Amino acid sequence: MRLAKYLAHSGVASRRKAEVIIGAGRVRVDGHLVTDPATGVEVGQDIRVDGHMVVPEGHEVWVVNKPIDVISTADEPGKRMAVVDLVDSAARLYPVGRLDADSSGIILLSNDGELANVLTHPRYGVKKTYRVGLRHNVSDAELNSLAKGVRLDDGMTAPADVQRNGERTFDITIREGRNRQIRRMGEAIGNEVMELQRISIGHLRLGRLGVGKSRLLDEQEVARLWKDAEHE
């Protein structure tokens, strides 16, 4: 197995982040400094990151209903709570993607770097649905524009599924993951997003999970997430 993949499977970080860690000279294999992420390793070798031995752990995937003002990081050095603090697990969990501090809703935490990669990499286009509340009423024409795609400073957005809920509210499903994309789409139609809640990732819906609560996904739910990356 390649070293970067080994670190990802061991819950150290996603494969991409593991490659950065290795390239930075922070990893030793059997006492030797290794900087090539493609280096082959086997279970049983002495593999250390920053001097700490890497021990493979069982994969866990948790779903969390993130409250507003909680940070989507594994460690928050400031005064605000980190999303990992909402999960009672001894595993080294990392957020799968991001959800802005001023947004709420579903976010996944896992120590499975491979799953995290397929759920967040643009190539796989896993769909995510958001419930949006705007400052001003939105017209059918404006919602149609959002569905067809609007121009942002980093290019046109891809087509989206949009369903109206009220005069100022709607649900939107996208397969992209640009920075603060939904809020910028609101600005593109001359409005402002006041409330933003992610209600689903792939097939997995927020459901009745309370704000600030979390639960461990079972094997069938995790298997379905892998299928979501195949655009089933």
Q: Which residues are catalytic?
A: 100
Burial class (CB in 10 A: 0-12, 13-18, 19+), 211: middle
Distance CA(171)–CA(173), nearest Å, equals 7
Cβ(12)–Cβ(48) below 8 Å:
no
Please count the other Cβ atoms lying within 10 Å of the Cβ belonging to residue 52. 9
For residue 210, what are its two tokens?
């309370």
Mode of pairing for the β-strands spanning 47-49 and 52-53: antiparallel
Q: Among residues 36, 57, 164, which one has the least CA distance to residue 111?
A: 57
